[in-house]
Structure 1
């Protein structure tokens, strides 16, 4: 990921060393400073100003369907039947469940349908409770609130694409498949999972263009490794991958030796902690001091103390777990907080940490 520059310089001197500014350079400086921001709503380096959060959407469950073992799909619409905000392949909704939990679910329907959003959720026993709530409580007619759609996994419609999905990771990939087919791209899909009975959207995938879809249940073909999956990539192909952490890690390790040219991926579970060091959290209001081991996140420790601690993506993206630090130095490991937010003491406790042996005092 490229980083924006922190400062902007004035127009350079004349190309030939003369003291007065070169006319071409002066024109380019004006173009970058005034014309581009006016047209693109961003500054000369492509940075866009922070936008206000979208207004909440009031939705109703209009249909519910069992798709596979422990997987249900929900169709969501506006209660008055009005059009919904547009979205593109790879987007997700932030869904506010009746309990107050906030969870992110990929949209897996048709972006051309302005009146219905579709999500699919696998029940995860022993998880954070969001999936169980969807399965047990959200029946037809239930009202929910959502925000979005937002897209952290955009599909760039590369000329040649290999799409890899593991289990419920098919949800953001399925709209990409349909978009690739609609645009006439050279595409191929691989969907792996524990068994055919556990893998959703089998009928929809079977109806796609023959020869472009490969279904690889583990109990029939064994667990595929990254090299095997990437062997299907044509030279220069872009790879889009979503699935469990071990599959993503295997694909990433094998990528450099593959014929593919780009790799885009999305996790639906927390990434492993890399180079973690132990530190402490102090809760300002109670005075409690909580040790954070090297292999656990601050969020993990906070959840142990209070299971109602808000969180969603566990990847530093969504912002649900953001807290204020009253004292201490933060090792920021997210890519979303602005410099102003960091200076104001904000931290995303699902990924960010503190230097070894130090203490963060949280406004809790």
Structure 2
């Protein structure tokens, strides 16, 4: 039996619901997948001219700055060896690029539509994560000085206020488009900014801006386990899955509010490239306790930004697009 510790299911589910809301709203309004590595990774994979990618990424950092005000408990001092940070970032970036997704694009958006490719990738990176974190005792080596969490009712009120503010922003953009006072291209860009800030707040309130909580979830070598991350995913999927399976996939929604069609991935192949990406992503996630979304939000941390991780992550994303790497895996 594993000893459960550091378990905050209600905080996690509330934050996860905000993650699911951001993912749902992006699909409903624009017809696009919310995948952090796919959106931000495009900046180093030949799509840097797309303003919406810059604005979404900026929204993640801006959301991090907002967390300093509304929920400072999202950030804490992190003790992570530089080699771990560098190796973790490189593996996460390379794995996300090869697998065309991460914990958001595959973990929430892909699994919500019951994509076999996303399910395979998720199972692969989870399996690799548990194995590598337990082998390297990540829970002991990814140390964070957490501040006490506020009561659940305080977190819930904060989440409701954040949701209301973002709902007003989404509604305002949609209304301006309907009144022909805002070009649709500008509306899509503004929506990406709002998506980014709401997703950042979800990560903060759920506790996923802490790499230690991820390490505690993946590392079971000491006979202890922190299952909080499961409830974050449940909170996100609990909103996104019904929306996708009951409305989008059966085509009960003809088109997104601000777009012409729902842009769902059509690739259903489960190949060596996908699985190798899952192994690399899960290994990096286990070593450093971070994936693309939390790392970018942590650029706003008052305790120091994970610059090494973010730098090597983008290097890995760029490298994953090279012909040499793809050729070795048959891609």
Q: TM-score range by the shorter chain?
A: under 0.3
Question: Higher relative contact order at CA 8 Å, sep ≥6: structure 1 or structure 2?
Answer: 2
User: What is the TM-score with the length of structure 2 in the denominator?
Assistant: 0.24
Q: Which is helix-richer, 1 or 2?
A: 2
**Which one has the largest radius of gyration?**
1
